[in-house]
């Protein structure tokens, strides 16, 4: 553990998958501030390079499509070749097609599963091979409150986010004897470019805000602390768990407040 504290990432190499925007971008910035050498892995090459250019020589950009297993393996191998190790991997990407089950088509189903579930599996597998070999490391994969609670139109997205939880638990069981920890974060509603369409609908936006105990949406940077905790030595005995960073969304029913309360 660092003399500067358990959250210090000085000397650590972190790969942030999906780090060019949204929650991933916030994590890149937060980890760089914590002292890590950071590789941004993203399909958005221009966005990743632009962000790396703003943050200095300790941050680099690597283009990768997480649906491509060989490409993911090559990207992680490149990080190891450049920096000597892969200490932390954070996987954030996901997509959603909001549709009733009866209206879903094959292409929509395949696209959501390919990014959210197959992509997360590819990241876990490639990172796990490297980390179990070096006998250390921490992997953090983003799930969602939709792994536990749903609403109409969330069937395939919720299925993939629940699947991520079980992937993480299994990876934790398999990698633990090699000193590798694997955990998940389950955010609630977070203001990012991907949720902009909801924000533009006042009724929808306000309904989501009202559902949490804090009565507001999260900012992307509010996901940095939970991610840093799970990635760092601060959580050295935490593995196979899901950290809900949801403003209390899953803790309360919220449908009715009894009189006098």
Q: What are the two backbone dihedrals, phi and then psi, of residue 37, each rounded to the nearest 5 degrees?
A: -85, 125
CB 165 within 8 A of CB 182: no
d(CA 164, CA 123): 11
104 catalytic residue (yes or no): no
By residue count, the chain amounts to: 261
Nearest to 152 by CA among 227, 191, 102: 102
Q: Which of 157, 205, 208, 237 is catalytic?
A: 157
Helix (H, G, I), strand (E, B) or coil at 18: coil
Provide CB contacts within 8 A for 230, sequence distance 6+: 138, 140, 181, 183, 185, 238, 243
Three-state SS for 244? strand
Q: What are the catalytic residues?
A: 157
């Amino acid at each position: 553990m660092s003399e500067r504290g358990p959250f210090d990432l000085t000397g650590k190499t972190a790969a942030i998958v999906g780090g060019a925007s949204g929650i991933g971008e916030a994590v890149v910035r937060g980890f760089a501030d914590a002292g890590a050498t950071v590789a941004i892995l993203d399909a958005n090459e221009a966005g990743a390079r632009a962000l790396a250019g703003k943050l200095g020589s300790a941050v680099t950009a690597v283009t990768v499509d997480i649906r491509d297993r060989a490409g993911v393996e090559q990207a992680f191998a490149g990080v190891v070749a450049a920096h000597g190790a892969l200490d932390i991997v954070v996987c954030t990407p996901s997509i959603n097609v909001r549709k009733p089950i009866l209206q879903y088509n094959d292409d929509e189903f395949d696209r959501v599963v390919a990014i959210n579930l197959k992509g997360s599996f590819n990241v876990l597998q490639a990172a796990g091979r490297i980390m179990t070999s070096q006998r250390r490391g921490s992997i953090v994969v983003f799930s969602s409150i939709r792994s536990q609670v749903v609403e109409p139109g969330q069937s395939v997205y919720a299925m993939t986010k629940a699947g991520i939880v079980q992937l993480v638990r299994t990876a934790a069981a398999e990698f633990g004897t090699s000193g590798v920890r694997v955990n998940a974060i389950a955010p609630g509603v977070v203001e990012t470019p991907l949720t902009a369409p909801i924000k533009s609908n006042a009724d929808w936006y306000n309904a989501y805000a009202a559902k949490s105990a804090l009565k507001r949406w999260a900012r992307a940077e509010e996901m940095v602390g939970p991610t840093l905790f799970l990635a760092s030595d601060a959580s050295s005995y935490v593995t196979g768990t899901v950290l809900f960073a949801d403003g209390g969304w899953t803790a309360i029913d919220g449908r009715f407040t009894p009189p006098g309360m």
